[in-house]
Structure 1
Amino acid sequence: MTTWFITGISSGFGRELATQLLDAGHRVAGTVRSSSPLDGYGDRLWLGRLDVTDPAAVRTTVDAAFAAMGRIDVVVPNAGYGLFGAAEEVTDEQAEHQITTNLLGTIRTVRAALPHLRAQGSGRVIALSSVAGLTAHPGASLYHASKWGVEGFMEALAAEVAPFGIGVTIVEPGGARTSFAGSSLRLGAPLAAYDGTPAAFVRAFAGDAVPPLPGDPAKIAARIVASAEEEPAPLRMVLGSDSYAAVTAALRARLAQVEPQEASAAATDF
């Protein structure tokens, strides 16, 4: 039996992870912003009320979860949402809230958990990033900014905490049939200037025109759960055929842009 701390278990991957773990006999300390859809698990489920945009509340809640559970083996900063729209279609407040939730919420959760994991001498941090953390599409610039930030933070963190027996994994799911396109998605106000441009594709998410997504949330969650037993921890875990195709294409394109610059890059040295 292992114990997991997961932010945002009321829907999406967080709920799927919590349900699978609890049904398998594990313990879960989960956070919600309002009410929890999970019950019937007795003392194997600990719930905390948390908005990850509140720095003090993040630390207080993480400390309380470790105190209540005694030991936590896996920490999953999962809480987040998608803000779509061209960069100038979103307000300053929307942009700040996106970064504060997705990026700073992840950073704060991990930082609050690290002293406990170091004291244990072991643990695993599994961050929910996205295919959007390694690719970029017009109409999602702020969402990409938040997820690319998670990527950089977690990759550097992995090397920082390895000496303490703490493993780090970044999960890169593609499109999955969760509630993301509903309750976890927000749109900027459309500007006529962007009508018919590549950035306007996101406007389809406001209606019923979203095509079925390929990812199976249950299979994705099961793969995440299984990864906690892998040694060493996989640094990145690409989940979904669409994610694999998009990530590999983006990385190849990036190399193709950079590799021809070897001589010009060296020309700027002393």
Structure 2
Amino acid sequence: MSRNWLITGTSSGFGRIMTERLLERGDTVVATLRQPDRLHGLQSRYPGRLHLAALDVTDTQQVRQVVDRAFAQLGRIDVIVSNAGYGLFGTVEEVSSAQIRQQLDTNVIGSIELVRAVLPHLRAQGGGRILQLSSMGGQVAFPGLSLYHASKWAIEGFFESLVQEVASFGIEATLIEPGAARTQFGRGSMVMAAPLAAYQAVPFSARRAVLARDSYTPIGDPEKMVHEMIACVDVTPAPRRLALGSDAYRLMHAALAGRLAQLEAQKDIALSTDASP
């Protein structure tokens, strides 16, 4: 059964791969990106099934206009893929106020406003599926990525609440949690804050140079990851989360087990602070 999809951030990486694979199998895609001309070649191969729209997800008015136009054009959109985002590397002292705002505006506010724009349409059509690109960084944290983690932990909390709010309308959502993948996101495309001398001697400082290199090769295969993202739409009920990559599984498992152990160690303290009957 063919589906209609709306995908943000399709110029490269997961968004571009997903768009190509969906078109190959006969689906219809509304692909949004800042520069639509980057997909004109692909559009010429799939006339009538690939629709392009210029979109900066930090522009809320534009988000609503693009979403409304897409639903009006296709009549129904079965799957929304909130994929647009990027990573910011730098300690909390190194990143600028402008960089902080841009990171959160793109990864958090942009994703939330996309959801707010599509919900009335999904309710009206009786349901739909949302895939939100998160990261293993939505469950674990590394030094030097505090603002990126802030954005991913925030969007995960948002979706934990959202799925409960919209379940009765037949709307489901899955948080996609990939580990490091061989996309441009994980190979030299991360935004780097200007380094401070005080942090050059700390153990994690070498990661800045590694992440900045185009030769950095993560373990994750983006083609295989996209295959599983598409496949999860056929799973009912929708999985709340989808971990992708052995590094994601290993690191998230350790983090969750550690947090649970800490919680159990504090059980007596937690119970002791209830008010007396």
Common topology (TM > 0.5): yes
8 Å CA contact 1:87–1:142 kept in 2: the answer is: yes
Cα 1:161–1:201 change in 2 (3 A) is farther
Q: Aligned residue for 2:102?
A: 97
Structure 1 residues 213 and 144 mapped into 2: Cα distance closer, same or farther (>3 Å)? same
Question: What are the ranges of 5 or more consecutive residues in structure 2 without an aligned counterpart?
Answer: none
The one-character-per-residue Cα deviations of 1:108-149 (angstroms, maximum 9, x if unpaired) are 111100000000111000100000000011010000000001
Determine the structure 1 residue equivalent to 2:213. Answer: 207
CA drift of 1:199 comes to 4.1
Distance 1:197 1:256 in 2: 28
Q: What is the distance in 2 between the residues matched to 1:209 and 1:42?
A: 36
User: 2:150 maps to which residue?
Assistant: 145
Contact persistence 2:189–2:212 (CA under 8 A): no
1:82-116 residue CA offsets vs partner (Å, 9 max, x unmatched): 00111111000001100000011110111100000
Aligned residue number for residue 64 of structure 1: 69
Gaps of 5+ in 1: none
SS at match of 1:180: helix
Partner of 1:10: 11
Q: Is the 8 A contact 2:6 2:81 kept in 1?
A: yes
Q: In the alignment, is the contact (CA less than 8 A) between 2:83 and 2:133 conserved in 1? A: yes
Which residue is equivalent to 1:31?
32
Moved more, 30-39 or 125-134: 30-39
Aligned pairs for 1:107-118 (under 5 A) are 107-118=112-123
Task: Measure the CA separation in 2 of the matches of 1:237 and 1:191.
Answer: 36
Matching residue within 122, 130, 148 for 2:127: 122
CA distance in 2, matches of 1:216, 1:68: 34
* Match 1:167 to one of 167, 172, 177: 172
Q: Over residues 137-175 of structure 1, what are the superposed CA-to-partner deviations in whole Å (9 max), with x where a residue is unaligned?
A: 101000000000111111111111110011110000001
Q: Which residue of 2 aligns with 1:217?
A: 222
2-structure distance, mates of 1:206, 1:161: 40
Residue 75 of structure 1 corresponds to 80
Segments of 4+ moved more than 6 angstroms: none
Q: Identity, % of aligned pairs?
A: 52
Q: Does the Cα contact within 8 Å between 1:9 and 1:36 map onto a contact in 2?
A: no
- What is the number of residues matched between the two proteins? 269
Q: Could you tell me whether the CA contact under 8 Å between 1:74 and 1:126 is conserved in 2?
A: yes
Deviation of 1:68 (Å):
1.0
Give secondary structure in 2 for the equivalent of 1:89.
coil
RMSD between superposed Cα atoms in Å: 1.2
Note the C-alpha offset of 1:265: 1.5
CA distance in structure 1 between the aligned counterparts of 2:80 and 2:127, rounded to whole angstroms: 11
CA contact (8 A) 2:187 2:215 kept: no
